[in-house]
Amino acid sequence: MLRHGPHLLTLALGLAPLVSAASPEWGQCGGSGWTGDTACVAGTVCTVQNAWYSQCLPSSSASSTTTSSTPPTTAVPPPSSSSPSGTSTTTVPPPSSTGFVKVSRQKFVLNGETYPLVGANAYWVGLMGYSTAQMNQAFSDIAKTGATTVRTLGFNDVTTPNGIYYQLWQNGTATVNTGPTGLQNFDNVVAAAKANGLRLIITLTNNWSDYGGMDVYVQQITGSADHDLFYTDANVIAAFKSYINAFVGRYLNEPTILAWELANEPRCRGSTGTSTGNCTTQTITNWVGEISAYIKTIDQNHLVGIGDEGFFNEPGSPDYPYQGTEGIDFNANLNVTTIDFGTAHLYPGSWGETSDPTGFGSRWITDHATSQKAANKPVILEEFGVTSDQASTYTAWYNTIVSTGLTGDLIWQAGSHFSTGDTPNDGYAIYPDDPVYAIEAQHFAAMKARD
């Protein structure tokens, strides 16, 4: 989603370390560069999450405590092509040898057992200055449905430093923000997901202008508004690889991360509305092959997906998402060897499918399950939403997912009630007191029983 801009909360949350006598439950208590308290309140233990972040966890869930020694780090390898962006590199946490989610034919597996991929999107969790306690509440609200997985955004490209951002662009040069308003903040996201038993799917850029995305790269490097240059311009591709190298390289050995996704909803056209006119389905399929293969050269531990809407390439179809006009060929992309699983989104209202949105959605799910079987790879409905008749529509779609054997699903989107206000609501958000929340829980249980 994120194509017209979400209704964002304005939060005045402090980013300075806590200065009390002991860090509170879920608070930070150590890590590289940490200058705050290293003691935790009673009933909690300062627990190492990675080299960058230690957290006060309840004693019953803590497994290891911090020490004064510095964990070993591994240098991030340089990108395969030189980057004009000047993106900096970082170091990564110490290795963890077990627990990475893998694929086996049409299933996800973890330590030899089927991993049921069910959950929600929470794009906002690492972007809006939330405290570690709020991150933990958000993930706890999601986990209570029986969810296993959360999809979130791993980017924010800005031209003026402000709030939480991950890459700063100035005069055509990009610098990754490794500080507390940048990657250290994302360390908190990973730690909170881990503390709540959830795995993360992380998207690395956006087709749309929300939080920067592809057009910032294109405008900064080429001075053009032609969106599709993101897929073909050598300097833009090198700059994106450089960002991937820094972000992905930081978490090579972190099993909380389930998968990387190349982009949110890639298309030939983006928010600028302009393109060179030369972008075809083959253009984006070629780009998918290059970028996914590059990630695999850096990171052999994590899965790689695209993050696309699952549009089919059937010229002449009366249905817009089947026509191939946006540059996406779902079946061709699913068969790229360095893509581990397929993704599809579902928004009948936005796609002009208004006469029977529920029925269209069930057909969309069924068609993607057919592609899943043909490719013998997992496929997930990783975004879906309607703003009316949610309970009945989602019940029908969930039933279709179960019956067709589609591998998994992530609703758009999760919501939480914080004491400072609610998380963003674009009309789709499901909060814990929404009737759909219970429907999610029932569906997740059904998926686990099916698998």
Catalytic residues, by residue number, are: 265, 383
Q: What are phi and psi of 288, to 5 degrees?
A: -55, -45
Spell out the residues 6+ positions from residue 402 whose beta carbon is closer than 8 angstroms to its own.
443, 446, 447, 450
Phi-psi region at 166: left, alpha or beta (left = phi > 0; alpha = psi -120 to 50) = alpha
CA pair distance 375, 377, nearest whole angstrom: 5
* Six-digit token string for 42: 């009673």
Q: Are 400 and 365 in contact (CB under 8 A)?
A: yes
228-263 burial code (b ≥16 CB/10 A, e <16): bbbbbbebbbbbbbbbbbbbbbbbbbbbbbbbbbbb
Task: Check: CB of residue 66 under 8 Å from CB of residue 44.
Answer: no
